[in-house]
Amino acid sequence: MRKKDGFASEKMLILPAYLLEQLSSHPLTGALYLTDIGYFPHARDHYRERPEGCDSFILIHCEEGRGCVSIDGVLHPIAEMQLIVIPSGTAHTYWADDEHPWTIRWLHFQGSQAAQYAQLLKTGLAPITLGTTDSETFAGLFGQCFDLLSGSAYSTSRRILAMQTLAYAFSLLGLVPERAEHNSQTRHIEAAIRLMNARIEKSLTLDEIARHVRLSRQHLNHLFKNAVGFAPIDYYLRLKMRRACQLLDLTPLTVQEIAHSLGFKDPYYFSRLFHRTIGMPPTAYRSKVKG
């Protein structure tokens, strides 16, 4: 039997119209404010359908269990520690899984900058998967908002703190997709550098590196320049020069032998590259007192 609410141990708070008017007009809360907030544990048979959408944005955070959210006909399965934002004015339906009904925190929000805050969470595009720490942090901030709004007869100072806590929570959540993208970029760069080190005594082309990390040449160049300040091949050559310094310091190999050991057929090109990179010719580097 489908239910909108009425679950054991649920918490729910719907702000009255006069408070919403005060929140929307106050300079410290008008940018972002809650209209409804709730917690539904083990919400078996939970189902909500709004063919015409809602005048608020809706955030749903799944603590455990599973469910589904359909936004404008696009289905998004929701699993444990995921959240999704439903855009305002958009047809949607959401429901708990029959076998493993979700436990959710949900809130409706409005404000002059509500759309910008929603965009931080990639509203309507796909669920965001949170780590354990992020999920627990959001749960704590959600609880603070609920407690502030449910006590002291909605004092102005508590309302302001609740809405600023909400803005802080959204700002933190907005870092999650950014961190995921950064981690993905880092993995690509680290994979490329591992390949460079494995081929330090041979040669390597940009095409070979790009194929290895499964990126286009252009994207790989962009990632490297942003992360390490050099294009991939430039960085690869710098790794070779660092290895050349070690060989000059620790072995009796000649400059020509070192050049050949690092994949350079032309020792004169090697010497010019070493000079340009290190700031002195190989022979001068070897004779320089170090330590």
Residue 132 has which token pair? 């354990």
Q: Beta-carbon neighbour count of residue 41 at 10 Å?
A: 17
Do 174 and 212 reside in the same domain of the chain?
no
For residue 180, what pLDDT is reported? 65
Do 120 and 24 reside in the same domain of the chain?
yes
* Cα 279 from Cα 273, distance rounded (Å): 10
Based on the number of CB atoms within 10 Å of its own CB, is 117 exposed (0-12), middle (13-18) or buried (19 or more)? Answer: buried
Domain annotation covers residue 1: no
Do 64 and 123 reside in the same domain of the chain?
yes
For residue 121, what pLDDT is reported? 84
Helix (H) or strand (E) holding 97: none
* Cα 17 from Cα 54, distance rounded (Å): 16
Residue 220 has which token pair? 């790989």
Residue 107 has which token pair? 């809130």
Q: Are 225 and 187 in contact (CB under 8 A)?
A: no
Within 13 A of 284's CA, how many CA atoms are on the CB side? 8
* Cα 254 from Cα 248, distance rounded (Å): 8
For residue 289, what pLDDT is reported? 65
Do 150 and 61 reside in the same domain of the chain?
yes
Q: Are 223 and 235 in contact (CB under 8 A)?
A: no
Q: What is the DSSP letter of 288?
A: S
User: Could you give the angle at which helices 156-198 and 206-213 cross, rounded to 10 degrees?
Assistant: 130
For residue 154, what pLDDT is reported? 67
Domain annotation covers residue 70: yes
Do 146 and 214 reside in the same domain of the chain?
no
For residue 51, what pLDDT is reported? 95
Mean per-residue pLDDT pooled into runs of 10, the chain (291 residues): 88 93 96 96 96 96 96 94 94 96 97 94 81 88 93 81 95 77 79 93 94 92 89 95 94 94 94 95 86 62
Domain containing residue 172: 11-180
Please give the tally of structural domains in the chain: 2
Domain annotation covers residue 192: no
Beta bridge partners, 96, equal 67
* Cα 169 from Cα 137, distance rounded (Å): 8
* Cα 13 from Cα 40, distance rounded (Å): 12
End of a domain among 180, 214, 238?
180
Do 232 and 152 reside in the same domain of the chain?
no
For residue 99, what pLDDT is reported? 95
Residue 92 has which token pair? 């949607």
CA-based nearest residue to 280, from 241, 246, 253, 247: 241
Question: Which CATH number does the domain housing residue 206 bear?
Answer: 1.10.10.60
